[in-house]
Amino acid sequence: MHRRLLVVSSVLMCALAVFVAWVLCDLHDRSLPQELHPSAMVTVTLPDGMDDADALRQLTERNRKLGLGLVKIVPDMEHGTDAQVFVPLPGTMLQSMEPGMSIRRFGSLPDGKVAGSDRLNSASAGGQYLICGRWDDSARHGLDDWATSTGVRLEHGDDDLTGDLRMLLGQSSFRVTVGAAVALTAVLVLFWLSFKARSRALRVLTGVPAWKIQYDDAVGLMLPMLAVAVIVDAAAALGVFVSRGGVFVPYLLRVTLLLEVMVFVCLLAFALVLSAACWPSVRMIADRQPVPRGLLRASVLVKAVVFVAVLAVIAPSMLSFREASDAAREQSVWQRLRDQVSVSITFGPDQTDMDAKAAALVHAMERQGKAALSYTFTDGPEHRITADTPVTGLVTRSWLDLVSIDPDVTAGITPVDAGRLDTQARQVVDQFATWAKDDAQARRLHAESRYYVADGVTVPMLKGGSDEMLFSPHATIIVVPDLNGFSDSGFLTPALSSRNIVLTGLDDTRRQVAQVGLDAAVSVRYIAEAQILRAQFSAYFAWMQAAAIILLLVAFAMVALVGADVRAILRAGHDYPLLLTGYAPGCLAAPTILAETLFALASAGVVSIILATQQSDGVSITLLVAALAALFSAVCHRAATASRFRAINDRTL
């Protein structure tokens, strides 16, 4: 029975390692597609005011000079799928890869496509680039020197073991998963030592050397787990080879073996330390104690650590679930905006009519129903937006249509009169006189605008001065009738340049840009490229956090069972006569249950105070988990006491 439980636990840990490796393979392939064989990935962040076309030109020059083999990753904006598109920069030669060819992906992403360099005309220069060429120290320094001289910020990610460890330990969900696996290994060692306590005592009594006992116990614990690991790893590698392709097998095995080595090293260390701490003494053997008392102390310590760990991660895990839900919602919004583009205008010294041309572009697109305004005001440009921060959004009806919000029928959104607006919203309305073309247009904006208050309902809006999406549940929404009343230089051109006026359709916008005479001074870019790529990653970390919580709960359940069994064994000589006289098992375990319940309440109180001081949610779920854990531990103690009594009566010890 004990060996079967050991094998089941080994399968659980190895399956967890394969699951983590599978998720890491998916994340890794999204950043470093294995079929392209990249050496590294670099994320480029442009400084404010840097033109995309100029940045791409400089990157292309640096690519040719250093032989980097840069390939930009962009989403499939044209076909509306979740696939990624790989665009080699001029000077990059991909072996056996031509425009239009498919790139196999590991996870749920559709197969990618290789696109021609003309795709860069509608892409931002910032974002993720694969390095498929030379990536030595001189190439790295050359790229870093260019970034330093231009103010560009670079983040490197190499395809090596160090990068794997950085990815593994850089995410809280992965750290919690590793911690849960380590906790489970400690529980397995306790479980194994409690099972081997009698045989260890007999071998000590017969004079077997201590190193021999330690060696045999460690081998007996490690061999079944190693055998299970080999079988699980081979099955996982075969499954990936058949379903995904052999190109993904090396990375999967690399990450799986890395995780398993970490677990087995911890397992061996726990086995040696706890075995020495719970070594059978001569007095224990003389008193015929079934297990050493050090085993009970070790089980209590491990149980307390695992319990505190569960309480410590349960609230952040709930927060990560909400963040994953918010990311999924944000991704769905960006998916609806995948056909929206922004216009970046380059002002030349002899181009004095740019404001008028930019306004003509906006008006022409609005007449076609292809222009939308979303400009959200906060307390200041540096103010950090939180879930409770009230904001004021200035939008057109076309923007609300884009994000599928009808304020007149949506529950939680209430129309209000201009006199009931808060201070921030009134200040925005007062600016109509400054932003409008003339006094008549200002009066029209005042008369025809509609005002709404959203409370508990999130209306996606773009933050003023950027393309950052805000999802504030407390917002005042000002819906202006159209963009005709706004002045050229006072509002339309700044809002267009800051990406707060979005236009529908890449080709339609380019044609209209040419018609108004802006084609030489304007670059048209998709607004949702980077956001779609970023949002695709978020759900994985929430699932990893869920797996870590489940593993921690399993570890706590096992240590509760083992600890209760060890206590019942040590107390059997005291409890058995009392049980014969009619005492209830729960009464005999009551002191231990009371002590553990007080510890659970105290720990939950400390964690709740910390959460309250950090103004974080999760106090209620923390208290609930603490109460359920204390109840489960009490049930384990009562069941173990009763089970030990039956075992003595039935001579099955």
What is the C-alpha end-to-end distance of the chain, expressed in Å?
A: 13
Bridge partners (DSSP) listed for residue 127: 44
Give the span between the Cα atoms of 42 and 529, in whole angstroms: 16
Going from the first residue of the chain to its last (653 residues), give the mean pLDDT of each consecutive group of 10, the final group possibly shorter. Answer: 68 77 78 82 80 83 88 75 81 76 80 83 80 87 88 79 64 65 73 73 78 81 84 90 86 84 81 76 61 67 78 71 65 76 67 78 91 85 59 92 88 88 90 91 92 87 82 89 89 86 86 79 70 62 65 73 76 79 84 88 86 75 86 89 79 54
* pLDDT tens-place string over residues 296-314: 677 777 778 778 877 777 7
Cβ(92)–Cβ(132) under 8 Å? yes
91: left (phi over 0), alpha (psi -120 to 50) or beta: left
Cα→Cα distances 348→344, 352, 495, 521, 522, Å:
13, 8, 19, 8, 11
So what's the pLDDT on residue 177?
65
Collect all residues with Cβ–Cβ distance below 8 Å to 4 and sequence separation of at least 6.
Answer: none
Chain centre to alpha carbon of residue 521: 39
Query: Global pTM?
Result: 0.63
Cβ(643)–Cβ(567) under 8 Å? no
* pLDDT tens-place string over residues 34-88: 888 888 888 888 886 677 778 888 888 888 888 888 888 887 766 666 678 888 8
Burial 597-616 (b: 16+ CB within 10 A, else e): bebbeebbeebbeebeeeee
The token pair that represents 202 in the structure block: 């007999």
How many CA atoms within 13 Å lie on the side-chain side of 10?
23
H helical segments located in 32-82: 52-66
The token pair that represents 13 in the structure block: 């840990």
H/E stretch holding 565: helix 538-570
* pLDDT tens-place string over residues 184-214: 777 777 777 777 777 777 777 777 887 888 8
What's the alpha-carbon Rg for the chain, to the nearest Å? 32
Cβ(44)–Cβ(52) under 8 Å? no
* pLDDT tens-place string over residues 575-601: 878 888 888 888 888 888 898 889 888
So what's the pLDDT on residue 14?
80
Cβ(637)–Cβ(600) under 8 Å? no
Chain centre to alpha carbon of residue 16: 18
The token pair that represents 552 in the structure block: 């921690």
**Residues listed for the chain:** 653
The DSSP string of 211-239 is HHHHHHHHHHHHHHHHHHHHHHHHHHHHH
So what's the pLDDT on residue 520?
60
So what's the pLDDT on residue 36?
83
Give the span between the Cα atoms of 367 and 354, in whole angstroms: 20
So what's the pLDDT on residue 11?
80
What percent of the residues of the chain are helix, what percent strand, and what percent coil, each to the nearest 5?
60, 15, 25
Give the span between the Cα atoms of 402 and 399, in whole angstroms: 5
So what's the pLDDT on residue 202?
75
Comparing CA positions, the residue from 403, 526, 500, 388 lying closest to residue 460 is: 403
Q: Which amino acid is at 49?
A: G
So what's the pLDDT on residue 170?
64
Q: How many helices (H) and strands (E) does the chain have?
A: 22, 17
Comparing CA positions, the residue from 522, 177, 156 lying closest to residue 357 is: 522
The token pair that represents 58 in the structure block: 């400089």
Cβ(181)–Cβ(104) under 8 Å? no
